[in-house]
Homo-oligomer: A and B are copies of this chain.
Amino acid sequence: MTVDPRTLQSVLDGRWAAVRDDVRTQMGALSVHPDPDLSTADYRALTTENLHRLAESGRPHQGFDPAYGGGGDVGGVVTAFAMLGYGDLSLLVKAGVQWGLFGGAVQVLGTAQHHDRYLKQIMDGELLGCFAMTETGHGSDVQHLRTTATYDAATREFVVHTPDEGARKDYIGNAARDGRMAVVFAQLVTGGEKHGVHALLVPVRDEAGGAQPGVTIGDCGVKAGLNGVDNGRLTFDHVRVPREALLNRFADVAEDGTYTSSIANETRRFFTMLGTLVRGRISVAGGAVTATEKALALAIRYGATRRQFADPATGEEVVVLDYLVHQRKLLPALATAYALHFAQSDLVSDMHDLQNPGAEIDERRQRELETRAAGIKAVGTWHATSTIQTCREACGGAGYLAANLLPQLKADTDVFTTFEGDNTVLLQLVAKTLLSDYGRRVGKLDLAGKARFAADLVAGTVAEKTGVRALVRRGDVRDRAYQRWLLAEREEHLLANAAQRMRKALKPGADQFGIFNGAQDHLLAAARAHVDRLVFDAFAAAVDRVEDAPVRALLADVLALHALTVIEGDRAFFIEHAYLTAGRAKAVTQAVNALCGTLRPHARTLVDAFGIPEPWLACPLLAGERDATAGMTDPSPSREEPTDLASVG
């Protein structure tokens, strides 16, 4: 069966295929790959220029409220931004700061007064702004940041203040060079009472670009990557802003200083505000997906033409992607990139339906979306970091040259694992939600149900001790239902285990920190298992939706490789807890190897289907394709050419 790459691409493109095609065309208008020796100042200037071109294209408007000239297509715009990951990640991040974080905060935390005054300027890129949440001393624990916004009823103003060096706003995009305003997150105080973190619009630069009185602007300087983005620091010395600066959708302060909010609980209010900002986290996950795809396209295309070590019998050199170990480096990572692509598409689609202007608020679904976004962001960005690293290594010395694009991809995406939520903290957040849901599920059981539940737990322990469980559930490791069973069992097992451990912390006098800390690795494993199962389900559903038989068959193999790679990576768990026998675990490894061989001839097709604009891939690394495979969709796999150990040394 021949796979039509265009059909495969349309499956990957999904709901926003038209947007993706538009962006592919538009990207042609941007300057391709800035000179890697550009100074930081020049790279920042170039990125700002590209940002304005993006604004002129009308693309960013698509994400805003149609009542203010927006396009009302949140999913489309997040998809479009992620596509910039095929090009220049500095531009992606700068656009994300301007329209996703800054503009998004004004849109979802502000009210009509803010929208009327600022939205158009923001969409047009006339008012560039910052999202000033993180502080030097508080990155993950933003609920406890220390900047204050104290209401002065006498002047009807808020006084924004940085009490100490740890409270300065840090790593803030758009701050060092361009931002004229900032959405500043601060502890709101009125009438001597604290009400937790709120967001205010604070001017930081005047029209001429100078710092506003009382505002000190610092520069984070050169970073590992993303040097087109001007990250900086903001310190406020009793800066006064009018009462209307408060983004007051969820809470307000009256002229006399009276505080009101539709959400009474301070913590819940904070997380509701944060939740509306989930778009930023989803956008980072999207950028991680596209950047990973680009790295894989480069490494796989190079591996499919690069030859090394001759068969002494024929003298013919072997294509490196024909070596099992090279396949092992790249093809499982490619399979997981596919899985994440589909999981990410679902996430964007669900966010669109929930958050598009005019959509009704559904708290339960919103909460589920946030948890899923946190999990996929963590898993997706770690996959990006490890895969791009592997791709660099798979290209040897060539992969180390800036001209071959992989160094920039690596350096730019490196921060993805720790910004917009540190991955470890995000997985803890996922674990926390899972535990609450689990507690509610168990709590809702009637007496008989609870007894059954307890009996199941005991039976599980017995099954594990006797190794019976692995014998009960048999099946071919290549069978999708069997893979799904393993992933779901692991999720449930780890969750039950974590819940049991955490229950001890509820006892009076318990060493809470000790118990939490001792269970921390279990919590993270449970969260990870949950995300793995979610991603598997998203990919499986996508495969089932495909009508074209050859494409469906190919994707089914990719799904199997992804699932078995996850299972193989944690096969110690599956054996330790008697879900797999030792023999079955070995069969998993054999199946991964076999699937690498099955997919090898389709490797080129699989990366071509991402539809990465060719000018954004053009580099000396792929020059070998001209000679070796001109005009071929899939270079000859040369699987028959033998070599032997002697030629390796």
Which A residues are closer than 8 A to B by beta carbons?
A: 36-37, 39-40, 134, 137-141, 144, 170-171, 220-225, 271, 307-311, 313, 317-318, 322-325, 328, 385, 389, 392-393, 396-397, 399-403, 406-407, 410-411, 414-415, 417-419, 422-425, 428-429, 431-433, 435, 464, 502, 505, 511-514, 516-518, 520-521, 523-524, 571-572, 575-578, 582, 585-586, 593, 640-649
- Chain B hits for A425, CB < 8 A: 648
Known A-B contacts A36-B221, A520-B324; A389 and B385 likewise in contact (beta carbons under 8 Å) = yes
Alpha-carbon distance A296/B363, docked complex (angstroms): 43
A-B contact pairs, 19 of them (CB 8 A): A37-B39, A137-B307, A140-B309, A141-B317, A222-B403, A224-B411, A318-B513, A322-B517, A324-B518, A385-B389, A397-B418, A410-B414, A429-B648, A505-B644, A511-B642, A512-B644, A514-B642, A523-B645, A571-B572
- Chain B hits for A170, CB < 8 A: 397
In contact, B593 and A582 (Cβ under 8 angstroms): no
In contact, A648 and B36 (Cβ under 8 angstroms): no
Closest to A512 in B: B642
Alpha-carbon distance A645/B523, docked complex (angstroms): 10
State the Cβ distance, A372 to closest chain B Cβ, in Å.
15
In contact, A410 and B222 (Cβ under 8 angstroms): no
- Chain B hits for A141, CB < 8 A: 308-310, 317, 647
Contact of A392 among B322, B414, B582, B646 (CB under 8 A): B414
Closest to A568 in B: B572
State the Cβ distance, A636 to closest chain B Cβ, in Å.
15
Known A-B contacts A397-B419, A411-B224; A138 and B518 likewise in contact (beta carbons under 8 Å) = no
Contact of A585 among B310, B407, B572 (CB under 8 A): B572
Closest 3 CB pairs of A and B: A513-B642, A224-B407, A222-B402
* Supplied contacts A393-B418, A400-B414, A571-B576, 16 more A-B pairs, CB within 8 Å: A37-B221, A134-B397, A140-B308, A141-B310, A170-B397, A221-B403, A225-B400, A271-B649, A328-B521, A392-B414, A393-B423, A396-B418, A410-B414, A571-B572, A575-B575, A577-B582
In contact, A36 and B222 (Cβ under 8 angstroms): yes
In contact, A396 and B324 (Cβ under 8 angstroms): no
- The interface centre, meaning the residue of A138, A401, A578 with most chain B CB atoms within 10 A of its CB, is A401
In contact, A397 and B171 (Cβ under 8 angstroms): yes
Contact of A429 among B307, B410, B521, B649 (CB under 8 A): B649
Closest to A399 in B: B418
State the Cβ distance, A389 to closest chain B Cβ, in Å.
7
- Chain B hits for A410, CB < 8 A: 224, 414
Contact of A324 among B221, B521, B648 (CB under 8 A): B521
In contact, A325 and B139 (Cβ under 8 angstroms): no
Alpha-carbon distance A643/B520, docked complex (angstroms): 12
- Chain B hits for A328, CB < 8 A: 521
State the Cβ distance, A606 to closest chain B Cβ, in Å.
21
